[in-house]
Amino acid sequence: MSGIEDPDDELSVTPPKQWATGVPAVAHALEYSLEQTSLRRTALTLLNINQAKGFDCPGCAWPEPAPGKRHLNEYCENGAKHIADEATSRRITADFFREHSIAKLDTRSDYWLNQQGRLTEPMIKRSGGTHYEPIGWDEALEVLARELRLLDSPDEALFYTSGRLNNEAAFLLQLFARAYGTNNLPDCSNMCHESSGSALQETLGIGKGSVSLDDIHHSDLIFVVGQNPGTNHPRMLTALEETKRNGGRIIAVNPLPEAGLIRFKHPQKPRGVIGRGTKIADEFLQIRPGGDLALFQALNLLLLEAEDAAPGSVLDHSFIDASTTGFTEFAEQTRKVSWDAVSEATGLDRAQIERVHEMVLESRSVIVCWAMGLTQHKHGVPTIREVVNFLLLRGNLGRPGAGVCPVRGHSNVQGDRTMGVWERMPQPFLDALGREFGFTPPSRHGLDSVDGIRAMRDGRAKVFLGVAGNFVRATPDSEVTEAAMRGCRLTAHISTKLNRSHTVCGDTALILPTLGRSDRDTQATGVQFFTVEDSMSEVHASRGRLAPASPHLLSEVAIISRLARRVLGHTPAIPWEDFEADYGTVRDRISRVVPGFEDFNARVAQPGGFRLPNPVNEGVFRTPSGKAVFTCNELTMPSVPDGHLLLQTLRSHDQWNTIPYALNDRYRGIHNARRVVLVNPADLARLGLADHDLVDLISLWHDGRERRAEDFRVVAYPTPPGSAASYYPETNVLVPLDSVADISNTPTSKAVLVRLEAATGAAR
């Protein structure tokens, strides 16, 4: 398998931290930035992150406060690291590729590949070649266009995107794919919040969150479930601090005692510098992985019983009667919930769940926030449906301080979906697109990420274009996926930095380097900006300010427009040249195709942009019945055979998805190593292992194939008995391709059955 790690065996372990984001955090961010670039570029970038006239942080999708309420430093430690990683002064030139064969590059770690700097010119690996070599833009795009034209069917091509892509480029990419003739638009959402989209669409009629930042600030009670905000959405902690200042309370539900959930020190306030900061969680439920469905069923049972005891005082009957369906069946099933099953699934005391229930009763408004700890389970969709049941019971939707809050990952992952990047976009969208551009978009559904891998593996997909991501590392079952990618006739990537998807490539391969968020984007009509949509449906402009990393870079909009022209030929109804010259013309088209974007150019010119309407907040549910839907969800838990552990694969504090920035995970006390597996001390004793032992992880799946991740150090850690945790993407090799969430088809990255075996050290 590719990516034999550069040595990383200097592991040292300190106790997990009790607090997140204090002064050391700022120092760490500056240190990374100054390592990557000059003081001047550091200052320029940091002053422009998340400012009304600057660029959107390329990190997570947490929203900025309204323009008048922004600090000069409206970013977090990790946002500063993401920017520094992009604004680095290091460059990869043609010489670099002459010196390093692709086979050689493939032995280097993901960390090393990323540290080589920004890509600067288009490169090609020709069929049978061993190295990437320079190629002009025209020829590169012609190579790709020719392969696309030669396919027997447009459905043999895949167009993958991550949520880094901006709205304008995303809109053009899906327009191009559909005009070419396919809905094969897999994206990172398939592996991320797809379970949220599936559950919310079915129950509330829209696959997005309903709350605003203001709702967070003024909620009485917020659940933070399956989420590690101290690392992954750091400025969410600032918002939760404000909730607490306003008298609200927080409940954290997580198998791990994550630092940010316990205590928070604000890095930009004197109180954060001295003092102990704010205690975040009023109640911490250290749940067994996968136990959340049982937890919310138990809370729902308690609410029904409290209503029985004091009729008319607990449930919001007028809301339930007027705006929902399915209550009777749901209530009937919920009354059968057994406390033995709840205790088995959650590992929690009944008394603690009852305490939380009391807090719910005391709260007029409740929000549930969640992320990958809920979505990446086999029963992720039913779990989120049960969260919706919980909120519906007391009418906690469409009111101030109440609602659903799936906290999205990539900065524009929500926007990409709004723009039509989805393999199963609803027919009304396709009709509007076809009307605007004078063609008939295909209506058969396309392939998502998992089905896309199957199609490449089986020779049904032959050309792969990836935009703004690292498909081969983000996806499960690394050995299977790598073979699938290598089997393609052509793989091409529009990227800013070198990654594994460039070294694990098809017969012919292209690297198409592009501008990043912080780079100035100049086209024929002048300097351009683009737009993004955050996790709370706020749409705003982003303007890069730095001199581009190389004069040979094209923007994503330019690359996609030029490719489309070559593939589709002359299309009078789709003026690709105009789109490239003036992104405002793309926004004009978006305003005519995508609901909620009327008058887009004028509204996005306002400082801070605008918020898309969410019908749920107007009491409108776009479900077939026109009402919100109570659902009945069967309690299921993965069964863990003797001698096995349930492994979750998660992010360290020092990485951006597939890209490690360093080998530390400061808040969890792990230093200088990523190949570690966190295990409960009681399990270690039971398995005859000791802290720091070297083990292989072997996953269990019914296809009998051996999936092994070699040479991990065991770290004794307070994870619930029977479970373990380790970093992604090193452990993706263990996640079977067919182990997916029901309905959403999301890989079960938080529930992999593994056993640990003493390592032979053969990989070293």
Ligand X SMILES: Nc1nc2c(c(=O)[nH]1)N[C@H]1C(S)=C(S)[C@@H](COP(=O)(O)OP(=O)(O)OC[C@H]3O[C@@H](n4cnc5c(=O)[nH]c(N)nc54)[C@H](O)[C@@H]3O)O[C@H]1N2
Residues that bind ligand SF4 (CB under 6 A): 57, 59-60, 62, 75-76, 78-79, 233-235
Residue 580 token pair: 């490239």
CA nearest to 378, candidates 736, 640, 635, 742: 742
CA distances from 454 to 322, 480, 697 (A): 45, 9, 24
Which of 25, 49, 60, 281 touches ligand X by CB under 6 A? Answer: 60
Rounded Cα gap, residues 2 and 729, in angstroms:
12
Percent helix / strand / coil, the chain, rounded to 5: 40, 20, 45
From the list 190-198, 301-309, 390-398, 745-753, the region that binds Mo ion by CB under 5 A is 190-198
Nearer Cβ to ligand SF4 (82/378) = 82
Residue 85 token pair: 């990683």
The least distance separating ligand SF4 from the CB of residue 296, rounded to whole angstroms, comes to 27
The least distance separating ligand X from the CB of residue 492, rounded to whole angstroms, comes to 12
In the chain, the amino acid numbered 349 is D
Nearer Cβ to ligand X (195/617) = 195
CA distances from 180 to 167, 175, 183, 569 (A): 20, 8, 9, 10
CA nearest to 648, candidates 750, 722, 736, 720: 750
Which of 196, 212, 227, 561 touches ligand X by CB under 6 A? Answer: 227
Residue 33 sits in the site that holds ligand X (CB under 6 A): no
Residues 6 or more apart whose CB falls under 8 angstroms from that of 81 comprise: 28, 29, 32, 33, 654, 656, 661
Residue 232 sits in the site that holds ligand X (CB under 6 A): yes
Binder of residue 75, out of ligand X, ligand SF4, Mo ion, none (CB less than 5 to 8 A by kind): ligand SF4
Nearer Cβ to ligand X (241/665) = 665
Residue 649 sits in the site that holds ligand X (CB under 6 A): yes
Binder of residue 753, out of ligand SF4, Mo ion, ligand X, none (CB less than 5 to 8 A by kind): none
Give the chain's largest Cα–Cα span.
77
**Binding track over 63-102 against ligand X, x by CB under 6 A:** ---------------x------------------------
Residues in binding contact with ligand X, number by CB under 6 A: 61
Which of 368, 464, 750, 759 touches ligand X by CB under 6 A? Answer: 750
Residue 497 token pair: 């930095």
Rounded Cα gap, residues 186 and 199, in angstroms:
19
The least distance separating ligand X from the CB of residue 758, rounded to whole angstroms, comes to 24
Dihedral sign of CA atoms 581, 587, 593, 594 in order: positive
Nearer Cβ to ligand X (231/324) = 231
Residue 205 sits in the site that holds Mo ion (CB under 5 A): no
Which of 651, 666, 674, 675 touches ligand X by CB under 6 A? Answer: 651
How buried is 572 (Cβ within 10 angstroms: 0-12 exposed, 13-18 middle, 19+ buried)? exposed
Nearer Cβ to ligand X (505/659) = 659
Which of 22, 197, 406, 409 touches Mo ion by CB under 5 A? Answer: 409
Residue 196 sits in the site that holds ligand X (CB under 6 A): no
Q: How many CB atoms lie within 10 A of CB 624?
A: 10
Nearer Cβ to ligand X (555/591) = 555
CA distances from 666 to 81, 360, 677, 750 (A): 14, 34, 15, 21
Nearer Cβ to ligand SF4 (41/288) = 41
Nearer Cβ to ligand SF4 (32/621) = 32
Binder of residue 235, out of ligand SF4, Mo ion, ligand X, none (CB less than 5 to 8 A by kind): ligand SF4
The least distance separating ligand SF4 from the CB of residue 104, rounded to whole angstroms, comes to 33
Residue 350 token pair: 């009944």
Nearer Cβ to ligand X (225/574) = 225
Beta strands in 226-296 (DSSP E): 249-253, 263-264, 278-279, 283-285
Nearer Cβ to ligand SF4 (230/452) = 230
Rounded Cα gap, residues 415 and 58, in angstroms:
13
Rounded Cα gap, residues 160 and 152, in angstroms:
20
CA nearest to 370, candidates 259, 449, 268, 293: 293
Rounded Cα gap, residues 550 and 495, in angstroms:
13
Residue 496 sits in the site that holds ligand X (CB under 6 A): yes
Residues in binding contact with Mo ion, number by CB under 5 A: 2
**Binding track over 121-150 against ligand X, x by CB under 6 A:** ------------------------------
**Binding track over 472-491 against Mo ion, x by CB under 5 A:** --------------------
Binder of residue 750, out of ligand SF4, Mo ion, ligand X, none (CB less than 5 to 8 A by kind): ligand X
Binder of residue 497, out of ligand SF4, ligand X, Mo ion, none (CB less than 5 to 8 A by kind): ligand X
Residue 214 token pair: 């203001």
Q: Which string of DSSP letters, residue by residue, matches 551-598? A: TT-B-HHHHHHHHHHHHH---TTS-HHHHHH-HHHHHHHHHHHSTT-T
Rounded Cα gap, residues 586 and 575, in angstroms:
10
Residue 192 sits in the site that holds Mo ion (CB under 5 A): yes
Which of 280, 494, 645, 733 touches ligand X by CB under 6 A? Answer: 494
Interface residue list for Mo ion (CB under 5 A): 192, 409
Residues that bind ligand X (CB under 6 A): 59-60, 78, 162, 164, 188, 191-192, 225-228, 231-233, 253-256, 258, 287, 289-290, 292, 371-373, 376-377, 409-410, 467-471, 474, 494-497, 499, 514, 516-517, 556, 648-651, 655-659, 728, 731-732, 735, 749-750
